[in-house]
Amino acid sequence: MTMASAPDSDATYLLYEGTQYQSYQFLGSHMEERQGMRGINFAVWAPNAKQVNVSGSFNGWDGSNHKMSMSDGVWTLFIPKLEEGTLYKYEIITLDDECYLKSDPYAFHTELRPGTASIVTSLEGYEWQDEEWLATKTSNQFLQQPLLIYEVHLGSWKRKEDGGFYTYLELADELVDYVLERGYTHIELMPLEEHPLDASWGYQVTSYFSVTSRFGSPKDFMVFVDRCHQKGIGVIMDWVPAHYCKDAHGLTRFDGTPLYEYADSRKGENPTWGTQIFDYGKPEVLSFLISNALFWMDVYHIDGLRVDAVYSILTLNFDREGGDRITNEFGGDENLEGIAFLQKLNAVVFSRYPNALMMAEDSSSYPGVTTSVDHGGLGFNYKWNLGYTWNTLEYMKKTQEERGEAEDQLTNSLLNAWEENYILPYAHDEVVHSSKSLLGKMSGDDNWQRFANLRVLYSYMIGHPGKKLLFMGNEFGQMDDWNSESALEWNLLEFEEHQQFEAFVKMMNHFYKAEKALWELDYDPSGFEAIGAEDRSDGLVMFIRKAEKTDEHLVIVCNFKTETHENYRLGVMKQGTYQEVFNSDKPEFGGSGVGNESHLMAEEFACQDRPYSITIHIPPLAAVIFKYTPSEG
């Protein structure tokens, strides 16, 4: 016996209003008890279907005896005696009498590829142990705190001897401790929603509510997040609301019509990626997407989302050829519905999770990405500074002779560092598809210069206003491009120069976390002061970073040339002692060993428009940082 049961009218009303933010609680498959019988209730939104049936492992994949009933566009059916672990799909009969087998858009678990069936799964019953982590979050914690992110692709961080994946449970033991020991504050995981193709890295999704089965079960993933939190590590997940893949079992033409995507193929398809674009003007799609964002926070305790490909959501003509351009109702290029979606997304997320991290991966110049929605912005609290990434890496590729004419490329990001709340990312896109690893991008006559260049680049990043992100492998000097089909080049750590570089990055990360001047006023111009900026050809980039306590500041000197500066006179604002507290040129890091005495007293000798100065040694291709201590009395 099967029973149909219409969903709650209030729930469906909110779905159609675009304000149903927990739609996963009644759509999808849920274990229930009806009239004393245990079973599974199935519910799916497919308003334009002629008929929808449930087919699965329990009926030989023939849904003719398990027909669903429709009310207000939502099809439902309760099937008694079915249990957790049941495999199923929806059999969609279209108005043209075509039959599609579709995975459940709200499934909590999905078969391991190449299988595509949804799996009935309960997310109840896990006992979280992260109360202390959740209690320590405050609404402004992250803007005024260190944020140092380790970006990870779980499928290629490490592999087993047979080439198999590490599981969520194994990674909870190994990866979490690795990140903790190296000083990172957060792990960012490349998309974890179920996807059919490993090579997409998770960016072309079929099941938005299913954590990928490649590494284990949903509750295994809960263990991973829980372990991160118990060790004081936050978890950020890449999230992909910009597009989805066209695989037949996914969302594309779900009920025989363009249901989740725009009906106009010019708006509904991304020609570059070969994917479908969500219809941001459809309330039910907004309910789906915003519910999904909250789902990862509600159910898996995710601390934030890095929203992928924001530029493609903001514009109607992303990667579109000139002759095929389309405009909005005002004749402009902006996707007004996409903009409204992002604003609504952030407003809702922050209303429920005021301390969430909402990060925009946005390569456009759209203004106000991190301005609040109330003030007309998109409402994110962070934006990736991709201009910083591209320009600094282009500079580091240049020879010593070329750098003299290109220093603006390195320092222009300091002029607009406060336009948004920026994150400075050296992420996966910079080290893949024959683009070379970060170490491989560094210019130099030999390995010594390449490693020294990478040390001074990282030091500059640590000193530069903005939060920080490094992709896995960059912490020990990966030599080759990142290959998602195999593990990182861990064997490199058998060589001294990679061991030294890893030691440098570890020291740098812990130094960053310990010094308030490097993060407390990241988004306040009063926390930064340039030194000697008028000379744009000497390879020296010098500035001061300040903490909220005005006497607590660091003087940062970065030398991007191979020349050593002996007895260089550096202008400072205050009398007192300046102590070298950071030097990327130390011998234990593979450097040449040029350094400074432990305490340097400021002299009353004007220099660089400052009333006092100190005399320092600046090592080649290196950064030195001095900490100020006021004079007693």
104, 220, 361, 407: which one is catalytic?
Answer: 361
pLDDT tens-digit readout, 208-248:
999 999 999 999 999 999 999 999 999 999 999 999 999 99
Looking at this protein, which amino acid is placed at residue 208? Y
CB 617 within 8 A of CB 568: yes
Residue 323 has pLDDT above 70, yes or no: no
Residue 1 has pLDDT above 60, yes or no: no
Looking at this protein, which amino acid is placed at residue 466? G
pLDDT at 164: 95
Helix (H, G, I), strand (E, B) or coil at 556: strand
pLDDT at 57: 94
Residue 311 has pLDDT above 90, yes or no: yes
Catalytic, 361? Answer: yes
Question: 115, 200, 189, 127: which is closest to 152 by C-alpha?
Answer: 189
Q: Three-state secondary structure along 394-453?
A: HHHHCCHHHHCCCHHHHHHHHCCCCCCCEEEEECHHHHCCCCCCHHHHCCCCCHHHHHHH
The rounded distance, in Å, linking the Cα atoms of 298 and 22 is 9
Looking at this protein, which amino acid is placed at residue 479? M
Tokens of 622: 């290196």
CB 421 within 8 A of CB 383: yes
The rounded distance, in Å, linking the Cα atoms of 429 and 598 is 40
How many degrees, rounded to 5, is the angle at CA 244 between CA 90 and CA 481? 130
CA atoms within 13 A of residue 181's CA, in its CB half-sphere? 9
Tokens of 396: 């580091």
Residue 281 has pLDDT above 70, yes or no: yes
What are the residue ranges spanned by the domains of the chain?
Answer: 9-119
Average pLDDT over residues 278-300: 98
Q: What is the pTM of this model?
A: 0.96
pLDDT at 597: 82
CB 574 within 8 A of CB 602: yes
Residue-wise DSSP of 75-122: EEEEEET--TT-EEEEEEEPTTS-EEEE--TT-S-BPPTT---EE---
Among 214-223, 272-281, 451-460, 547-556, which stretch is predicted with the lowest mean pLDDT?
A: 547-556
Average pLDDT over residues 263-275: 90
Q: Burial letters for 500-523: b for 16+ Cβ neighbours within 10 Å, e otherwise?
A: bbbebbebbbebbbebbbbbbbbb
- pLDDT confidence tier of residue 272, bands split at 50, 70 and 90: confident
Q: Which residues on adjacent β-strands are paired with residue 29?
A: 42
pLDDT at 413: 96
pLDDT at 376: 96
pLDDT tens-digit readout, 489-524:
999 999 999 999 999 999 999 999 999 999 999 999
pLDDT at 397: 97
Question: 593, 554, 592, 467: which is closest to 188 by C-alpha?
Answer: 467
Catalytic, 308? Answer: yes
Question: 313, 359, 363, 318: which is closest to 339 by C-alpha?
Answer: 313
Average pLDDT over residues 264-282: 93
pLDDT at 494: 97
- pLDDT confidence tier of residue 298, bands split at 50, 70 and 90: very high
The rounded distance, in Å, linking the Cα atoms of 338 and 332 is 13
- pLDDT confidence tier of residue 301, bands split at 50, 70 and 90: very high
Q: Which residues on adjacent β-strands are paired with residue 624?
A: 557, 583
- Can you name the CATH fold of 9-119? Immunoglobulin-like (2.60.40)
Helix (H, G, I), strand (E, B) or coil at 31: strand
pLDDT at 141: 60
- pLDDT confidence tier of residue 324, bands split at 50, 70 and 90: confident
The rounded distance, in Å, linking the Cα atoms of 93 and 255 is 8
pLDDT tens-digit readout, 78-106:
999 999 999 999 999 999 999 999 999 99
Average pLDDT over residues 599-614: 93
Higher pLDDT, 511 or 266: 511
Q: How many CB atoms lie within 10 A of CB 440?
A: 16
193, 308, 420, 430: which one is catalytic?
Answer: 308
Long-range CB contact pairs, 14-17, < 8 A, 24+: 14/287, 15/45, 15/74, 15/283, 15/284, 15/287, 16/72, 16/73, 16/283, 16/284, 17/283, 17/287
CB 293 within 8 A of CB 239: yes
Tokens of 413: 């990001």
Tokens of 130: 């992260």
Helix H segments across 315-380? 336-352
Average pLDDT over residues 368-389: 97
CB 134 within 8 A of CB 455: no
Long-range CB contact pairs, 32-36, < 8 A, 24+: 32/78, 34/3, 34/5, 34/78, 34/80, 35/3
pLDDT at 420: 97
pLDDT tens-digit readout, 400-422:
999 988 999 999 999 999 999 99
Q: How many CB atoms lie within 10 A of CB 230?
A: 16
Residue 321 has pLDDT above 80, yes or no: no
pLDDT tens-digit readout, 112-170:
999 999 999 999 999 999 999 998 876 556 789 999 999 999 999 999 999 999 999 99
Higher pLDDT, 463 or 143: 463
- Length of the chain counted residue by residue: 633
Residue 633 has pLDDT above 60, yes or no: no
Helix (H, G, I), strand (E, B) or coil at 590: coil
Higher pLDDT, 4 or 607: 607
The rounded distance, in Å, linking the Cα atoms of 368 and 334 is 14
The rounded distance, in Å, linking the Cα atoms of 477 and 494 is 12
